[in-house]
Structure 1
Amino acid sequence: MEHKRHLSRRTFLQQAGLSGIALTIGCYWPASGKSTGEIVPVEDAEAIATELMAWISIDTAGNVTLFNHRSEMGQGTWQAIPQIVAEELEVAMDNVRIQYAPANPKKYGPQPQEGSFSIRGWYQQLLRMGASARGMLIEAAARQWRVAATECYAENGHVVHRATGRKLNYGVLVKDAAQLTPPQPVKLKERKDYKIIGKPIRRKDIAAKTNGTAVFGLDKKLPGMLYAVVERSPRFRGKVKSFDDAATRSVSGVKHVMKVQRAVFGLMYEGVAVVADSLWTAMQGRKLLKVEWDDAGFEHLDSEQLSTRMRQDLDKPVTPDAFETALKNSTAVIEYIYEAPYQSHSCMEPLNCIADVKDNSIEIWGPIQEANWIQADLSQRLNIPIENVAVNMTFLGGGFGRKAFPDYPLEAALISKAIKAPVQVMWTREDDMTMGPFRAGSFYKCSGGVDAQKKIHALQIISASQYIGQGEDKDAQPQSLKANTGEIGGSLSDYYKSIPHYSFGGVPTKSPIPTMWWRAPIANVDAFAFESFIDELAHLALQDPLEFRKAHLASSRSLALVDRLAVVSNWKSRAKNEGWGVAITDCFGAMVGQVVKVSRKPDQKIKIDKVYALIDCGMYINPDIIRAQVEGSIIMALGAAINHATHFKEGKAVEKNFNTYTMPRLQEIPEIEVHIMENDEKPGGVGEPGLPAFAPALCNAIFDLTGKRIRKLPFQLAEV
C-alpha cells in the first residue's frame, strides 16, 4: 500500500480512474482565518508542498469526476454536490460522475456528515472550483482561436466563440487548460441565471440503490475475509468474568473465540467475539457461547427509577430572584412538566465494519459517517501513523449520528489485529438496538406568565437529562440559574429578544447508560417542550397560536415564514371539530414551520389528516431532495411521538427488535405537503431541521381538537 503525504497528480488520476491527461484542480487554505481558499492545479499543490482538497478532474473525453469526501447516507450529497459544480462548470449532469474519497482531512478538509455541512460549509468553494475550471477552459480555447477570452462563453461542456459560433469540446482543451493558472478572483453566476441549481433533477444514486448494485457496508467483501459477531454485556459496563466456548468451537467453521473491547466515551466495554468463515456460522456459534458477566460497580436502573430521578432533578437548580419576581408580576402564570423518552437509532442497516490490520497499517471499509474522527481514533489507539490508516466509506443505510461514533470500527480493528486477517464484524438487529448509545430521555419543567398585552412576560425551562457521554457516576452539583441567559434547542432566536425575562438551564441526571446525538440533536427533544409550552401560553393569553408566535418575532425572515405558513396551510380556514396545531423551530441554519391537522374517525380514534411543512433553508440545490428529507424527518418524528421508545429493566434495554420497537406503518403515514421558502440567504441544513417541529405541532393539534394536552411522549393515538 502506497502512503504519500501529498496528493500527487498521478495518484489522483489513478484513484479517479482517469487517463494521464486531465485538468485537475482543487482548493486549499493558505492561511488560517481565511473564509475562502485558494484554487490551484494539482501540480502547483505539489510544487508548493501543500495539501490539496482535490475535487474536480476533467479528462480528454470531457467527462468530469468529483471526489465526494463525505458519506452518502440517503441525504443526497451524491446529487447536490455534482449539481453545484456542474452549474458553474457548464456541463450536463450526465457527464459528471462521483466516487468516494478516503478519509484524509489534510487533502479533503473536514469530512463529518452532520448538520448538512456538505452544502452549508462547502457550497461557495464548490461554486468557485466549477467556475475556475470553466475559466481555464475558456482561456485555453481563446488562445487556440487567438481571440480574447471575453469573446467566448461555456455551454454544455463546450467553449463557444460568440462571434463565429466556433465550438470546442472540453476534452480537447484539458491538456492546454491544465497548464494555466486558475483565475483569481473568479466571477460566479447570479442566481437568476442558474440552470441546474434549484432544479428537481433525479438523483444519480437511485438506480444503484434500487437494482442492488450500490455497495453498502454489508455488501463489501474482501478475499480471505472472516466474519465475526460479538456477545456483549447487556448491562453496558459489564466485564467478562469468564466464558465457556467449548460448544462454540465445536461448530464447523468457527475459527476464533476471544475477548474484545470497544471504547465508548472513554470507557472500555467488553465482549466475546466469535469469528468464523461465514456470518451464519459465527451467529450459530455465539448462541452456544456461555459468558459470565461481572456487573458490579454501577447501577442497574429501571425506566421508572430514571423517570423519578429526572423529575427530582428538576428541583435542583436555583431560580434567580429577578425571574421569580418577573413571574409573580405576570398577569397569569402556568407551570407544567414535559417528558420525552430514550430512543434507539435503529438504522435500517445495522452497524457493521470490515477491518484489515497489518503490522504498520490499518484499512477499514463500512458505513462510516465521520471518517476523520474514526481515522484519528484508530491511529491513536493502535499506535499506527495516521497516514497509514485508510478509512473507506460505503453507502450508509441510515446514520442519524450513530455511525459517526468510533467504537464499532475499533472493535473490528482489534479483532483483525488479533487474528491477523481481514474481518467483517456484524451487529445483529438486537445488538444494534440494545447496546446504545441512545438518545437520552428528558424531563422539562416549564414555567411562564403573560402580561396585560397578552405577550410572554416571563419564561423558564429547566431540563433534567443525561448529557451526551458515557453516563454520570455521581450526582451533579446543583447549579444557580441566571436570568436572561442560555437558550433552548430548536427555538427561534427572536424569542430571546422579545421576552423580557427568561431563564434556561439543565441538570445532568446520574445514570450509567451511554447517550449520544440523535437526528437533530438537542432540538429533537427541547423543541417538544418549548413549542408545546408556547402553545399553552397562547391559550392562557386567549390568542390564536400562530398569531401569538408572530407577535414575538421581529426578523423579516421569521415573519415571512410565519406569513407563508399561514397561506400554504390555509390556517384561517380552521373550523369547529377540526384540530389544528402549529410549531416553528430553528436548527442547523434552517427554520421549519409545521401545521398538523387531526380529526376523529367514526370510531372516535384520532386520525392525523395532513401535515404542512414549510422550510426556510436559504439558497437550495435540489428541491426534490429537500422534500424527501423533510418527509423522512416527519415520519421519523411520528414514530418517536406515537410508536416507539427504549425502556430499561434492571439496567438492560427492553426493546430488542421491531416487534416491540414498532415503526410507523404505511397506513399510519398522513399526507405530507412540503413547501420551500424562496430567498437568497446562505444555505442551511435540510436533513435534520424537519424533525423537531412535528411532535409539538401534533400535540398542539390534539389539544385544539380535544382539549387534552399531551405532555409525555410517546403516546397512543387510540388512547387520546
Structure 2
Amino acid sequence: METSAKNLSRRNFLKLTGLTGAALSLGFYSTAKAKEGSIVSTDTANNLGIELNAWITIDTTGKVTIVNHRSEMGQGSYQAVPQIIAEELEVDLNDVNIVFGVGNNAKYGNQITGGSSTVRGIYKKLLKLSATAREMLKLAASNKLGVPISELYAENGFIIHKASGKKLGYGELVEAASKLEPPKDVALKHPKDYKILRKPLPRQDTPLKVNGKAIFGIDKKLPGMLYAVVERNPRFLGKVKSFDDTAARAIPGVKHVLKVQMNVFSHKREGVAVVADNLWSAMQGRKALKVEWDDAGFEHHSTEQLYSKMRDQLKEEPISFKTKGNFKNVMEKETRKLEAIYETPYESHSCIEPVNCIANVTGDRVEIWGPIQGPDWIQSDISTQLGIPLENVTVNMTFLGGGFGRKAFTDYPHEAVMISKEIKTPVQVVWTREDDMTQGPFRPGMVYQCKAALTDDGRIRGFETKMAGQNMDHQNPGANKGSYNSSVTEGFLETYFNSLPHYNFGDVPLESPVPVMWWRSVYSSTNAFAFESFMDELAISVNKDALEFRRQHIWDERYHELISKLEQVSGWKSKSKNSGYGVAITECFSSIVGEVVKVSKKADGKLKIDKVWAVMDCGWYVNPDTIRAQVEGSIIMALGAAIKHETHFKDGKAVERNFDTYKLPRITDTPEIEVHIMENDEKAGGVGEPALPPFAPALTNAIFDLTGKRIRTLPFTLEEV
C-alpha cells in the first residue's frame, strides 16, 4: 500500500499505481467546458483537453486506487474517504490502494483539513462518484453478456448476473467502461443497506503506523538532502541585528549559515539558519551561534499585562456581531439579572511530531514534502511569494503526527522554500520541541463578560456576551481592524437564537505581537466555557435543573432528542448524593455534542473525575469507531487545557519550552469515557473537533455541584479546589 504523496497527474497517476494504459478513472472537474460538479471519465477528460482529477481508478487487473485529498493527522480521513467510496463501488476496503493527492484546489476543491470538514464537505459527491463507477461497470457487463442491466448486481469487485451466476471482474470491464458516458443520475443506497459504511472497520493506516511503513514528514528523505535548524528571534516581531557564525561553521558537517525570513501573517519572522549534512550537526551549529537581536518598536507583553488589557477592554463598547431585540432595554427593566466574567488561557498546539518541511527549489519550480494540513493553501502561498505559476509548485502530503490547526499555517513551508532557494539544494527544516512551543502561533487567551436578564418564571429574556481577546483575522495583511470577530458565537447552540427574544454578541479585539491561530475547535474551545458555565449559573439562580433549564430554551426536536439521550445514558435523574454532576451542550462545525461529567472526592478529600458521558450528533457518519476515538481524544485534549497546561509570556517571550513545564494529561489522569452516537437523517457534521468544547464547562459545573465552588478561570488544579 503506497503511503507517500505523489504528483497525481494522469501520466504520473498511471505510473504510480502500476496501471495499464486501459483504466476506468473517474473524478470531478469544473471548467468553462465542463459543468461544475460534473463527473468525468478518462476519455471525456481527454476530449475536453483537461487533466483528470482521478478520485477512483480501476485498472485491467481489477486493482482499485482511491485518492485521499485531505491530510491524515490521526482524525481518520485516510479511512473515511476510501470507506465512503468502497460502499457504493462495492469493493473490499482491504483490496484498495490509497494514495494522497497533491495540493491542487482546481482539481480537488478545498483541501484544508480543518473545521472538521473532510467528510461533511464532500461525502455526497464521493457517494455519487463511486455509484457512477459501479453503474458504468454494470453497463459494460450488460453489453458484454447481452443481458439487461437490471439483472446484474455488483459485489466485492465483480459484476454478477443474478440468474446464471456468471460474473465478470472489474478489471475485465474497465476498458469498455472507460469509453462510456457517465450516467447523470444514479440511485444511492439507503443507510439501512450499508455494508461498509456505519461499520466499525479497522483503520487502513493502523498497520502502516505499527510496522513503520507510514511516512511522516520527519521520515521523508531525498537524495542529497541537507538539514536545517533555525535560531529564531524569541520575541515575535524582533529582527536580526547581527550574528557571528565562526563557531557554528567550525562544527563538522555544517555547510551553510544564513539569515532567513518567513511570513507570519503580516510580519516577517527573522532568524539564522544553520544547514548541515545531518541533523545533529545542524543542531550543534545552532548552539554555537552568537546572535544579537533588535527588539525595539513593539511591546514585550507578559501574561499579566495581556489579561489586564483584556479585562479593561470589557468596559468598552464591543464591535457588534449578532444582535436581536433590545438587550440594554431589557436589562434596565428586568429585576432578575446575572453577570459573570470567565477567562481562558493561551495554549500551544504541541503536536507529537514537531513542525518540519522539505523543500526543493530548482529554477522557477518548487516541490515540497511534509506534514501539511492545507496543501492547496501552501501551493497558492508559495506561488505568490516567489512569483511563479501555480502549476510550478508541487505540494506532497505525508502523514502528520498531529496537527490541531498548526500545520495548516504557511510559515514553515515558506521558511523551508527560502532556505532551499538560497542554498540551491533540497533541505529539510526541522523545528525542535522548544521551537514548536515557543514560536507559536498559539490558541488565543480570552476574557468573556456574560450578562443575562431573566423573567420571574425563570426564563432568559435577554442574553449578552462580550469577548475580549485577539481576532485571528486582524493579523492578516491589510486587515480591517474595525471588523468583528465572526466566531463570537461559535459553540453556542443555534436553536437558542430562535428562542431568546433579546441578545447581543460582540467582541473587543486585543492588539498584541503574540501570533494566534486555530487550535482544535478554534474559538469554540474558549467560547463554550463561558457560554455553558453561564447557562449553569443561570439555571442555579432560578433553582432549575441544568438540563431542564436548557430544554425549556430549545425549540428544535433534534436537540431535545440529544438531551433525552444524554439524560438517559448518564443516569442524570438518579444522580448519587456524594458525587457532583455537570453538563454542557455545544454546537460547532454542524455537529451537536452533549457531555456529562461526574466528579467525587477521594479518601484524602481531593477531587477526582470519575466518568464522562458524551453524546455526539454528527448526522450522517462513516465509522463509529472513528467517532468514538475522536470524541475521546477531544475530551482528553480539553482535560489538559482545563487542568494541566497553558502558555505564559514574560518580557515578550513564551515561557513554557517543553513537556517538563507544559504538562500533558497522562493515562492516570484520564477518566472513563462513554460515547454514544445519535442516529438520524441529518446531513453530515464534523467529528474531529466538536467534542472538545463541552468538556471544560461540564467539569467545572460538576465541581460546583459537589463543592459549591464556582470556577471561572482556566486552567485550575484539581488538587487545589
Q: Same fold (TM over 0.5)?
A: yes
Asked if 1:313 corresponds to 2:317, the answer is: no
Q: How far is the alpha carbon of 1:43 from its aligned partner?
A: 2.1
How many Å separate the matches in 2 of 1:50 and 1:572? 62
Q: How far is the alpha carbon of 1:540 from its aligned partner?
A: 0.5
Q: How does 1:324-339 map to 2 (within 5 A)?
A: 324-339=328-343
Query: Per-residue displacement from partner, 1:217-252 (whole Å, max 9, x unpaired)?
Result: 000000110000000000011100000111111111
Asked if 1:575 corresponds to 2:576, the answer is: yes
How many Å separate the matches in 2 of 1:257 and 1:621? 49
Q: How does 1:696-707 map to 2 (within 5 A)?
A: 696-707=697-708
Q: How far is the alpha carbon of 1:21 from its aligned partner?
A: 2.3
- Over 3 Å counting, the alpha-carbon distance change for 1:644 and 1:32 in structure 2 is farther
Other structure's SS at 2:463 match? strand
Q: Which residue number in structure 2 is paired with residue 653 of structure 1?
A: 654
Query: Per-residue displacement from partner, 1:422-469 (whole Å, max 9, x unpaired)?
Result: 000000000000001111100001111221121111111111001115
How many Å separate the matches in 1 of 2:364 and 2:94? 41
Query: In terms of mean alpha carbon deviation, does 152-161 or 640-649 score higher?
Result: 152-161
Q: Which residue number in structure 2 is paired with residue 282 of structure 1?
A: 282
How many Å separate the matches in 2 of 1:76 and 1:576? 40
Q: How does 1:490-639 map to 2 (within 5 A)?
A: 490-639=491-640
How many Å separate the matches in 1 of 2:59 and 2:33? 33
Q: How far is the alpha carbon of 1:573 from its aligned partner?
A: 1.1
Other structure's SS at 1:54 match? coil
Q: How far is the alpha carbon of 1:543 from its aligned partner?
A: 0.3
Q: Identity over the aligned pairs, expressed in percent?
A: 59
How many Å separate the matches in 1 of 2:28 and 2:116? 20
Candidates 403, 410, 415, aligned match of 1:411: 415
Q: Structure 1 stretches of 5 or more lacking a match?
A: 1-5
Q: Which residue number in structure 2 is paired with residue 643 of structure 1?
A: 644
Aligned residues of 1:316 and 1:478 also touching (Cα < 8 A): no
Q: How far is the alpha carbon of 1:16 from its aligned partner?
A: 3.0
Q: How far is the alpha carbon of 1:63 from its aligned partner?
A: 1.8
1:376 is matched by which residue type in structure 2? S
Aligned residues of 2:488 and 2:527 also touching (Cα < 8 A): no
How many Å separate the matches in 2 of 1:611 and 1:277? 49
Q: How does 1:340-355 map to 2 (within 5 A)?
A: 340-355=344-359
Q: Structure 2 stretches of 5 or more lacking a match?
A: 1-6
Q: Which residue number in structure 1 is paired with residue 84 of structure 2?
A: 84
Q: How far is the alpha carbon of 1:478 from its aligned partner?
A: 9.1
How many Å separate the matches in 2 of 1:197 and 1:386? 37
Asked if 1:447 corresponds to 2:451, the answer is: yes
TM-score for the superposition, normalised by structure 1: 0.96
- Over 3 Å counting, the alpha-carbon distance change for 1:685 and 1:478 in structure 2 is closer
Other structure's SS at 1:488 match? coil
How many Å separate the matches in 2 of 1:452 and 1:711? 26
Aligned residues of 2:10 and 2:52 also touching (Cα < 8 A): no
- Over 3 Å counting, the alpha-carbon distance change for 1:693 and 1:33 in structure 2 is farther
Aligned residues of 1:7 and 1:46 also touching (Cα < 8 A): no
Q: How does 1:426-437 map to 2 (within 5 A)?
A: 426-437=430-441
Aligned residues of 2:585 and 2:694 also touching (Cα < 8 A): yes
Q: Which residue number in structure 1 is paired with residue 427 of structure 2?
A: 423
Q: Which residue number in structure 2 is paired with residue 464 of structure 1?
A: 468
How many Å separate the matches in 1 of 2:332 and 2:307? 29
Q: How far is the alpha carbon of 1:655 from its aligned partner?
A: 0.3
- Over 3 Å counting, the alpha-carbon distance change for 1:410 and 1:479 in structure 2 is closer
Query: Per-residue displacement from partner, 1:285-325 (whole Å, max 9, x unpaired)?
Result: 11110000000000001111111100000111169993222
Query: Per-residue displacement from partner, 1:536-584 (whole Å, max 9, x unpaired)?
Result: 0000110000110011001111111111111111111113221000000
Candidates 368, 384, 400, aligned match of 2:388: 384
Q: Which residue number in structure 1 is paired with residue 27 of structure 2?
A: 26
Q: Which residue number in structure 2 is paired with residue 3 of structure 1?
A: none
Q: How does 1:88-107 map to 2 (within 5 A)?
A: 88-107=88-107
Aligned residues of 1:488 and 1:530 also touching (Cα < 8 A): no
How many Å separate the matches in 2 of 1:479 and 1:329? 31
Q: How far is the alpha carbon of 1:15 from its aligned partner?
A: 3.4
2:686 is matched by which residue type in structure 1? G
Candidates 363, 368, 375, aligned match of 1:364: 368
Q: How far is the alpha carbon of 1:111 from its aligned partner?
A: 1.0
Q: How far is the alpha carbon of 1:472 from its aligned partner?
A: 10
Q: How far is the alpha carbon of 1:28 from its aligned partner?
A: 1.9
Asked if 1:676 corresponds to 2:680, the answer is: no
What value does the CA root-mean-square deviation take over the aligned residues? Answer: 2.2
Q: How far is the alpha carbon of 1:487 from its aligned partner?
A: 5.5
Q: Which residue number in structure 1 is paired with residue 4 of structure 2?
A: none
Q: How far is the alpha carbon of 1:496 from its aligned partner?
A: 1.3
Query: In terms of mean alpha carbon deviation, does 251-260 or 464-473 score higher?
Result: 464-473
Aligned residues of 1:88 and 1:189 also touching (Cα < 8 A): yes
Asked if 1:393 corresponds to 2:394, the answer is: no
Aligned residues of 1:68 and 1:98 also touching (Cα < 8 A): yes
Q: Which residue number in structure 2 is paired with residue 186 of structure 1?
A: 186
Aligned residues of 2:360 and 2:420 also touching (Cα < 8 A): yes
Q: How far is the alpha carbon of 1:390 from its aligned partner?
A: 0.6
Q: Which residue number in structure 2 is paired with residue 161 of structure 1?
A: 161
Aligned residues of 2:42 and 2:178 also touching (Cα < 8 A): no
How many Å separate the matches in 2 of 1:87 and 1:480? 43
1:402 is matched by which residue type in structure 2? R
Q: How far is the alpha carbon of 1:152 from its aligned partner?
A: 0.9
Other structure's SS at 2:665 match? coil
Query: Per-residue displacement from partner, 1:318-375 (whole Å, max 9, x unpaired)?
Result: 6999322212333421111100010011000000000000111000100010011111
Other structure's SS at 2:256 match? strand
Other structure's SS at 1:242 match? strand
Aligned residues of 1:366 and 1:392 also touching (Cα < 8 A): yes
- Over 3 Å counting, the alpha-carbon distance change for 1:145 and 1:480 in structure 2 is closer
Other structure's SS at 1:690 match? coil
Aligned residues of 1:449 and 1:537 also touching (Cα < 8 A): no
Query: Per-residue displacement from partner, 1:478-501 (whole Å, max 9, x unpaired)?
Result: 9999xxx99621011111111121
How many Å separate the matches in 1 of 2:56 and 2:362? 33
How many Å separate the matches in 1 of 2:299 and 2:211? 48
Q: How does 1:247-286 map to 2 (within 5 A)?
A: 247-286=247-286
Other structure's SS at 2:528 match? helix
How many Å separate the matches in 2 of 1:457 and 1:507? 24
Q: How far is the alpha carbon of 1:638 from its aligned partner?
A: 0.3
Q: How far is the alpha carbon of 1:470 from its aligned partner?
A: 7.1
Aligned residues of 2:265 and 2:476 also touching (Cα < 8 A): no
How many Å separate the matches in 2 of 1:59 and 1:45? 17
2:79 is matched by which residue type in structure 1? Q
- Over 3 Å counting, the alpha-carbon distance change for 1:178 and 1:699 in structure 2 is same
1:293 is matched by which residue type in structure 2? W
Aligned residues of 1:589 and 1:685 also touching (Cα < 8 A): yes
How many Å separate the matches in 1 of 2:517 and 2:651? 21
Other structure's SS at 1:567 match? helix
Q: Which residue number in structure 1 is paired with residue 713 of structure 2?
A: 712
Candidates 306, 327, 330, aligned match of 1:323: 327
Aligned residues of 2:326 and 2:503 also touching (Cα < 8 A): no
Query: Per-residue displacement from partner, 1:566-605 (whole Å, max 9, x unpaired)?
Result: 1111111113221000000000010000000000101111
Other structure's SS at 2:54 match? strand
TM-score for the superposition, normalised by structure 2: 0.96
